Amino acid sequence: MKQRNVTRRSFLDAALKGGALASTASLTITKDLFAQASGPIVIGHHCDLTGVISSWGFWHDKCAKAAVDIINKGGGISGRKVELVTEDTESNPAPGARKLRNLIQRGNAEFIVGSVHSGVMLAALPIASEFKTPYFSTGEATEVTGSKGTRFSFRTGTDTYSIAAASMPWCVENLGKVWSVIYADYAWGQSTNQESKLYIEKAGGKVLASIPVPLDTKDFVPYVAQIPGESEVVLPAFIGSLSVAFYTQAKAMGLDKKMKMFSSSASLESIDPGDIQGAAEGVYFFENFPRMLAHKNDEYHKEFNKAIGIDDVYAKEIGGTRVMDKSHGWQAWEDVFAIKAAIETSGYKGRKDIEGAIQALEGMQMKNSLEHPQGDKLIRKEDHAGIIDCYISRVEQGKYEVKRRIPKEDIAKNMPLRHNLSTMPV
């Protein structure tokens, strides 16, 4: 019988289809590869499984587990099995900080796929740095790869800096020059306000008002009433229930008839526009991974959707009601594969080799693939920021329709370096 040539690509494809380990031959290959290893590589997942952002954390957990499963079915990392250890941040900085210590000190995690909650990841970074453990942030507060960044902080996705740099030139030209910002008064909202204002003004626009809103707000009327009537565009920066409350109450007040709205994908992540009675209809959103397959229609995007179990239009759970946080959740998948590449490139064996792994991550280029289905990307060497293609979409009949693709090269040109983390000590 002719021996089948199992390539890396064909093995990953087979794994996704659930058949890669069906044969005795494949089981033997995996067993033999692991037999060469000296013990598992432990990746920690600092995951928001409960609390305000748990609807996102569900998908981050699913993505990280799926990525690790594929890697282990393919022989692990450098012949070593990968062990994923997860701790719930509770979407709260204080317990989140404690849980990170648990991951590193008790769970022996050598690399961390991090929180999507900006407050949690900012609280986590000093601890990760103290223990010389690379931490991949999946949230958007720019400080993690900016003013509070260290040699150990990385991201493959976007932050408030890159979002503003990517979106504001087009938005100011096409939506309006007179803006107001209304935002949740915590790390991410504050960072969004600061970076957006900077880039609106850089593009020739102006911000009439920046309106902070407490996190326990139920009644948005007093805050929406503060938006100047001469505003042409309003930028709301909320997540979860706050976001739903803002859009539904703003629509009831007729705000959508007076001015346009633009926001980060975070404002409607894990929310189906159809579930909020059209309150987000016509709103423009920044995306970094189109919710609809049609707007990045390739085999890797399609296979990723299958692996995670979401449909190709609404990013909704097959057979369920959950909606994926499509512009954030992919990072938990891709970060695992970035860690794999860094370990294998650098020859990492243990913590004493961490500097080599960090150097491998600095400037790492990733090609559009099953491992990196969001698309081609770069971790910029100096500031450890993800440089990726981005999109501006509009909600039309409950669907995210892409109106503009912003190439990563244009974004990089518009976000000059502010900090050089690569010169910091390890």
Give residue-wise pLDDT tens across range 396-406.
Answer: 999 999 999 99
pLDDT at 2: 37
pLDDT at 183: 98
pLDDT at 7: 45
- Closest to 83 in 3D by CA, of 106, 62, 107, 115: 107
pLDDT at 406: 98
Task: List 396's β-bridge partners, or say none.
Answer: 399
Task: List 42's β-bridge partners, or say none.
Answer: 83
pLDDT at 38: 76
Per-residue three-class SS string for 370-423: CCCCCCCEEECCCCCCEEECEEEEEEECCEEEEEEEECHHHHHHHCCCCCCHHH
Per-residue tokens: 192: 């969004």
- Domain architecture of the chain: domains with CATH: 8-157+297-305+325-388 (3.40.50.2300), 161-287 (3.40.50.2300)
338 close to 156: Cβ distance less than 8 angstroms: yes
Positions in the chain short of pLDDT 70: 1-37
How many residues does the structure list for the chain? 426
- Closest to 288 in 3D by CA, of 369, 195, 165, 389: 389
